[in-house]
Amino acid sequence: MSPNYMRSFSEGCLRPPTVIGQFHTLFFGSVRMFFLGVLGFAVYGNEALHFSCDPDKREVNLFCYNQFRPITPQVFWALQLVIVLVPGAFFHLYATCRSIKQEDILQKSFYSGFYMFSVFLRIVLETVAFWLQIQLFGFKVGAIYMCDVGALKKKFVSRCMVPEHFEKTIFLIAMYTFTVITVVLCVAEIFEISCRRLGFLKNQ
């Protein structure tokens, strides 16, 4: 792909054709990624090292931590961010290959419909991620986790201490909030496109 195509693709991703889309990109790209990359590492970075069970044996600690965290929150949220970006990136790649200008996207029915479909896919992916997060992490991190170590051929339930459980609860709520905000922004973006197509708003 030539440098011109790469420039056009990056500009399309960073500057969507709608005002709300541009705000969504700013919110998504700066606030959400900064929150996950910086604060997420601070909260979850050493969780496995400080996760301890009774009896405090390495095999018990590792087994119970894997049971407590089938997937680490940082990995889950990083995958969520990447997957949610795919529909928009695919649309802008298509627009770049077809040499579609940003101002033409909202003026032609096929292009605006295609773009609205990519935004709708973002909503679906965010909703699925929201549901999965509830199934994996819930809404609150308890101070104590009761671990069934029967698979280790030890007939007892281990009592494990979860480090910084209150901070993790706050972080969970924040990530749920970010997901809700991005879904609301996507819905508002579809509404903005519809209003522009119907002539209620002037195109940029």
| CB within 8 Å of 120: residues ≥ 6 apart | 186, 190
Please classify residue 71 by burial: count the beta carbons closer than 10 Å to its beta carbon, then call 0-12 exposed, 13-18 middle and 19+ buried: exposed
CB atoms < 10 A from the CB of 43, how many? 19
Residue reference for tokens 């998504």: 28
Over the range 159-180, which residues count as b (16 or more CB within 10 Å of their CB) and which as e?
ebebbbeeebbebbebbeebbe
pLDDT value of residue 7: 59
1 domain-assigned: no
Kind plus residue range of the DSSP H or E element containing 200: none
- Indicate if the pLDDT at residue 78 is higher than 60: yes
How many distinct structural domains can be found in the chain?
A: 1
> For residue 191, which amino acid is it?
F
pLDDT at 22: 80
Residue 12 lies in a domain: no
pLDDT of residue 104: 73
Residue 7 lies in a domain: no
Q: What is the pLDDT of residue 98?
A: 76
Q: Express each pLDDT in 85-110 by its tens digit.
A: 888 888 878 777 777 777 777 777 78
pLDDT confidence bin for 198, thresholds 50/70/90: confident
Model confidence band, residue 187 (pLDDT cutoffs 50, 70, 90): very high
Domain coverage including residue 125: 19-203
Residue 9 lies in a domain: no
- pLDDT value of residue 135: 92
The owner of tokens 């280790």 is 152
pLDDT in tens, 114-162: 888 999 999 999 999 999 999 999 899 988 998 888 777 666 778 889 8
* Mean pLDDT score across all residues of the chain: 82
pLDDT beyond 60 at 2: no
Q: Which residues pair with 158 in a beta bridge?
A: 147
Q: What is the mean pLDDT of residues 9-38?
A: 73
Residue 133 contacts residue 84 (beta carbons within 8 Å): no
pLDDT band at residue 193 under the 50/70/90 scheme = confident
Q: What's the pLDDT score for residue 94? A: 79
Label the pairing between strands 144-148 and 157-161. Answer: antiparallel
Examine residue 44 and state whether it is found in any structural domain, yes or no. yes
Cα gap 161→47, rounded to integer Å: 11
The reply to whether 166 falls in a domain is: yes
Mean pLDDT value across residues 38-66: 83
CATH number at residue 75: 1.20.1440.80
Whether pLDDT at 21 is above 90: no
List C-alpha distances in Å: 181 to 10, 39, 126, 143: 24, 19, 10, 29
Q: How many C-beta atoms surround the C-beta of residue 124 within 10 A? A: 13
Q: What residues have CB less than 8 Å from 184, skipping those under 6 apart?
A: none
Question: At 8, is the pLDDT very low, low, confident or very high (cuts 50, 70, 90)?
Answer: low
